[in-house]
Amino acid sequence: MRDSRPLLLLVVVGSLLGLTANIVKLALQAGWPALAFLCCSALGAGLVLLVLAAATGNRPGLGRPALAYYLWSGLLSIALPNALLFLAIPHVGAAFVALCLAFPPLATYLLALLFRMERPRAVRAAGVATGLLGALVLAFGRSGGGSAASFWAAVALAGPLVIAAGNIYRTLRWPEGASALSLAPGMLLGGAVLLVPFLLLPDSAPPFGQLTATLLLLAQITVFSATYALYFILQKIAGPVYLSQIGSVGAVVGASLAVLALGEPAGPALLLSGLLVLLGVFLVNRSRGA
């Protein structure tokens, strides 16, 4: 009987990513500086998971290799890619940036082939390509023909490449004997530490005095905590290529929430892209263990 856990985790974690894109949009509208919101969210979620890890006997390691892992994974999976995406939002739009979440699967698969972590599989490659096609359909369908500054478009598209590198790094450097729950808080806190200097920049003070802004931060801390607690579990049981499919799910879920909850316009491209992404996820899941 096929293990259904990877597919369930894929849908849950991908959906949480889609929810994140919408919370971030609301947070920027509520006055949060992008990097301050990212730093505070990662710090809060890291502390929540640190308490949970300690309470369940999954204390994070504190040796030099473990600390290096936290910083590098925090840089590649939290600080750098999210900073690139968040900073690009005012220039290319939140929708374009959210759609970039769907691009890591192809890059991760190619890197996994390069590092010989995966062997070529026609079905899996077709699934990754189908999911990517769905993201492209959604991107072109919602672009409205508008133009964006090429520099900031490149910045936004660089985010998924960093995410793919982080997927590979975490697998190759996974500390021996470490549990998923022991690594998640270290990665979040490592990313938060790297972002702290940006809080000292002008106009980067967190708007803690505003109720809406504070509630959005608490919501994002909750989502981050759930996302990265499950993130490492999914990676451990399914591998980096399968994990990367969360971006495709997140792109469709995020776009759907934007339409239903935030009133953004919808079109036939949304339905077509959703079907393509779901087909891609099915093909990748079908190829596991083949």
pLDDT attached to residue 203: 83
Decide if pLDDT at 145 tops 70. no
Q: Residue ranges of the alpha helices (H) in the chain?
A: 5-29, 34-55, 64-74, 80-92, 94-99, 104-114, 122-143, 150-172, 180-195, 211-238, 240-243, 246-262, 268-286
pLDDT attached to residue 192: 96
Q: Specify the residue for token string 């393509």.
A: 276
pLDDT attached to residue 290: 47
- pLDDT, tens digit, 9 for 90 and up, residues 86-138: 887 777 766 667 667 777 766 677 777 787 777 778 887 888 788 778 767 76
Nearest 10 degrees: CA dihedral of 174, 85, 273, 129?
-40
Cβ–Cβ under 8 Å, residues 245 and 231: no
Decide if pLDDT at 146 tops 70. no
Of 3-17, 50-64, 103-117, 225-239, the one with minimum mean pLDDT is: 103-117
Query: Averaged over 25-30, what is the pLDDT?
Result: 89
Measured distance CA(100)–CA(139) in Å, rounded? 9
Measured distance CA(130)–CA(141) in Å, rounded? 16
Structure tokens, 207: 């708007």
Query: Averaged over 209-217, what is the pLDDT?
Result: 94
Q: Specify the residue for token string 């549990």.
A: 179
64 versus 274: which is more confidently predicted? 64
pLDDT attached to residue 37: 95
Measured distance CA(207)–CA(226) in Å, rounded? 24
pTM here is 0.81
Burial bucket for residue 111 (CB in 10 Å: 0-12, 13-18, 19+):
buried
Query: Averaged over 236-246, what is the pLDDT?
Result: 79
115 versus 285: which is more confidently predicted? 115
> What φ, ψ does residue 101 adopt, rounded to 5°?
-60, -20
Query: What is the Cα 45 distance to its own chain's centre?
Result: 14
| Angle CA 287–227–71, to nearest 5 | 100
pLDDT attached to residue 47: 97
Decide if pLDDT at 63 tops 80. yes
Measured distance CA(187)–CA(189) in Å, rounded? 6
Q: Specify the residue for token string 């972002």.
A: 195
- Using CA atoms, how far residue 105 sits from 40, 59, 206, in Å, is 28, 31, 33
Of residues 77, 106, 86, the one with CA closest to residue 33: 86
136 versus 166: which is more confidently predicted? 166
3-state SS string over 197-244? HHHHCCCCCCCCCCHHHHHHHHHHHHHHHHHHHHHHHHHHHHCHHHHC
Measured distance CA(75)–CA(173) in Å, rounded? 14
Of 83-87, 89-93, 280-284, the one with minimum mean pLDDT is: 89-93
- Using CA atoms, how far residue 118 sits from 113, 128, 133, 172, 205, in Å, is 5, 13, 21, 12, 44
Decide if pLDDT at 246 tops 60. yes
pLDDT attached to residue 270: 67
